[in-house]
Amino acid sequence: MIEENNFLSIRIIPVILTFIGLSFLIIPQSILMSLTQVELIVISVERGVFLLSCAFFLWQIHNFSPFFYYQLLDFFSLILFIFLVFDPLYSVMIYSLQIWLYSILIFLMIILLQYDKYKYRDE
């Protein structure tokens, strides 16, 4: 039986997603190019709310059932991989360092999800 506090990913990934989401909500001008003011607000608020809701959603799934969370780890990895490859934010970010940092964080979250998947596969 999988215990509730065993997963490393549920302790780290919601914190990372919350940090990125709050940075998109609080300081979008330093992250995204200034297109028009309306486009900047729409893109940054949309992505910030999406990341915050993903963090809350992951946390609530784990609170509901750690076994169900374990079963969905591959699906969460697939979603993060799709965002890693096809993310529309790459065309509106200012610096290439931001793109690299954002991509590395998503890749590390995928690795963390897969680590938990294979660590607890026999339980």
Q: What pLDDT shows up at residue 110?
A: 94
Average pLDDT over residues 113-120: 89
- pLDDT class of 27 with cuts at 50, 70, 90: confident
pTM, two decimals, is 0.84
Which pair of structure tokens corresponds to residue 16? Answer: 């990372």
Q: What pLDDT shows up at residue 34?
A: 62
In sequence order, the β-bridge partners of residue 93 are: 32
Is a pLDDT exceeding 90 seen at residue 36? no
Is a pLDDT exceeding 80 seen at residue 49? yes
Where does residue 91 rank: exposed (0-12), middle (13-18), buried (19+ CB within 10 A)?
exposed
Q: Which amino acid is at 20?
A: I
Contact yes or no for 51/31 (Cβ under 8 A): no
Is a pLDDT exceeding 80 seen at residue 28? no
Hey, CA dihedral for 4, 64, 107, 25, is it positive or negative? negative
Which residues are CB-neighbours of 57 under 8 A, at least 6 positions away? none
- pLDDT class of 35 with cuts at 50, 70, 90: low
